[in-house]
Structure formats: structure tokens, C-alpha cells
Amino acid sequence: MAETITEGPGTIEALSLVPKAEAKQSMKDFKSDQEVRWCPGCGDYAVLAAVQGFMPELGLAKENIVFVSGIGCSSRFPYYMNTYGMHSIHGRAPAIATGLASSRRDLSVWVVTGDGDALSIGGNHLIHALRRNVNLKILLFNNRIYGLTKGQYSPTSEVGKITKSTPMGSLDAPFNPVSLAIGAEASFVARTVDSDRKHLTSVLREAAAHPGTALVEIYQNCNIFNDGAFEVLKDKQQAEEAVIRLEHGQPIRFGVDGAKGVVRDSLTGDLKVVDVTEANQSQILVHDAHSASPTTAFALSRLADPDTLHHTPIGVFRSTDRPVYDTLMSDQLDTAIEQNGKGDLGALLAGGDTWTVVG
């Protein structure tokens, strides 16, 4: 037998029922034989590479991994993973994945979706998957544009955006996916960026380990229809001021030498960015991703300016324990058997008031 994995899924509660790989895996094992057909330069390539590169770390039997997607550029993702996969219909991936995950607890089920797929046509399924806390890992590729239909504004596009369908500018106020997810009772919400492989991988690692629904928003560049949408977060110099890296248990500081920090406004209770001084240093908010209350995580999600993306937190906003839907569903089946015995079809059919006709 090949080298056995001695650590990994066995220690991860979310994956405890998923069989482990018998042999050590490499990135190559997760590449399917299908030619990848995204536009050259698309941010999706980076995410695919990060996911394929990270999967061996989980050490799961790859036949027990399933990727389910909807419709859109990112939803082609399952075709490129050498696991089980389903490329479904627009917006419905969370619903389909819910049926799969809740009937098969031995599977690691991942949903790949985009801002249009998850937040527009499939908004309903997304929020309900989050509130139920089904054991799904949802990767939301947010490029703030419709790519596959060639460049209309999306539900995360900024107000006033000029696109083919909005020649005079978009009138729609955008969703903030992290705020939305926290509002929908999500137990795990994170944000990362396509080009930051290390950060992306660390967030995926935490998401995979989370029992319940994990929503990971991935800022992803569409170099054809919305190029540079996240440039401010990627350009080294600008990023210093624009990006707030959240780390559980650490004071929330950013900027050159951590010159800036996040404090709670004592009057409103809201959060605000301040220059860190000797006097206010002790008041800098320490990030608690595990807080039972979503209030501070929500306030953090509101720090970013939707137009300039200044003060955009990335990392895990919230990661809390909540009962997992598929576990509860399975427990009810066990309880029913305990209470009523294993179902006896003959007895069921012959239940109620009966009478007998003799010949």
C-alpha cells in the first residue's frame, strides 16, 4: 500500500465521514483531461490552480469529492476537476448540492458559482443554503460583471457602471456578498483574492475544515469585460492602504507598518478606521471570527467603500459552530428508527382500520 495519510481529514470534523485517499495525492490527480477554455488571462485559472493544488492537502478519496456549479464562466470549473461533478443550470447549484450533501454525508461537496449565478438568478438558493448550514463549501467568484453573456452589469457592479445594458450607467445598488451572507445567518464567511494564492489557499483550508456551509467570496478579475476591477487590492502600493487582512485573535491593523487600525465608535457602536496612536492603540479591535454574534463581522463587511474598494477586509470574517443540516437530518432518521423501529413496509401498508374479505 502506498504512503498513508496520517493527518488531515481525520482531524477535520467537517470531513470526518469522507473516506481518505489510500495514496498520497498531487495536484496532477485533480486535473481532468479536459482542455480549460477560459479566456487567456482570466482570474479563474488562478483559482483553479489554487484549488487543484490545495486538494491533495485534504487527503480525501477523490471519488468522494463533488463539484457542483450553475451557469456562467466560473461554472465550467467542475469539468476541469478530476472528481465527480455536475454543471447544472443557472443559479440552482446550491439547491442541487443541498440534495446531494444531505443525502450523502460521505461526500465533500463544493459549489462553484459567480456573482450573477449566486446573487441574481440564484439568490434565493444561496441565502437558504446559508441559513440551513448544509455541509457545502461555496466558492463565489465575484468579478462584478456578467462575462459569459458578454458584459452586462451584475448584482455586485458599482452604481453608475457603464455596460452594454446600461449605456447611461447602472441604477442598481450592488450587493455586498459578505454582508448578505452574514445577514443570511451564514456560519462561515470569508473573502479572498484570485491572485493571492497563499491567502486563497489559507482561506480554502479553513473553509474545508468548517462543519456547515462555508461561503468564500473570491475577487476574480475578468480581463475581458471588467479588467482591473480589483487592481486597487492587488497593486502592492495601493493595497497597503486598501486591504485589511483579518486574522483571528489579532488586532485589526493595516497600512504601512500597521499605521491604521479599526476601532469601535463609542457613540454609534459602528466600526471606523483610525490612525493608530499611543493613545488609541489599546482600543484597536481584536478580530474574533468565532464570536457567536454576527454583529461585528457584519460591521467589518461594511468598512469597504463599494466604489473605491478602500478598506476592504479579506480573510475569515466569521467562523462559528452551528448545527449542521445534514447531520440533523440524519439524526432524525436515527431517532425515528430508535423510536419506531426500522420501517416495516408490510406493517405500514396494513396500518389503519382494516377489514378482511374471505372467499
Please report, as ranges, the residues that interact with another protein according to CB under 8 A: 19, 32, 34, 61-66, 68, 71, 78-79, 81-89, 92, 95-104, 106-107, 124-125, 128, 329, 332-333, 335-337, 339-343, 345-346, 348-359
- In the beta sheet, which residues pair with residue 66? 84, 109
Q: How far is the CB of 328 from another protein (least distance, A)?
A: 11
Cβ distance to another protein smaller for residue 101 or 285? 101
Cβ distance to another protein smaller for residue 18 or 271? 18
Cβ distance to another protein smaller for residue 61 or 207? 61
- DSSP letters of 87-132? E--TT-HHHHHHHHHHH-TTSEEEEEEEHHIIIIITHHHHHHHHHH
Cβ distance to another protein smaller for residue 46 or 129? 129
Question: Residue 144, exposed/middle/buried by CB under 10 A (0-12, 13-18, 19+)?
Answer: buried
Instruction: Judge whether 260 and 274 are in contact, CB under 8 Å.
Output: yes
Q: How far is the CB of 260 from another protein (least distance, A)?
A: 41
HSE toward the beta carbon, residue 309, CA cutoff 13 A? 20
Report the alpha-carbon distance of residue 91 to residue 127 in Å, rounded: 12
Cβ distance to another protein smaller for residue 40 or 352? 352
Element (H, E) at 316: strand 312-319
Cβ distance to another protein smaller for residue 167 or 346? 346
Q: How far is the CB of 72 from another protein (least distance, A)?
A: 13
Q: How far is the CB of 221 from another protein (least distance, A)?
A: 24
Instruction: Judge whether 113 and 93 are in contact, CB under 8 Å.
Output: yes
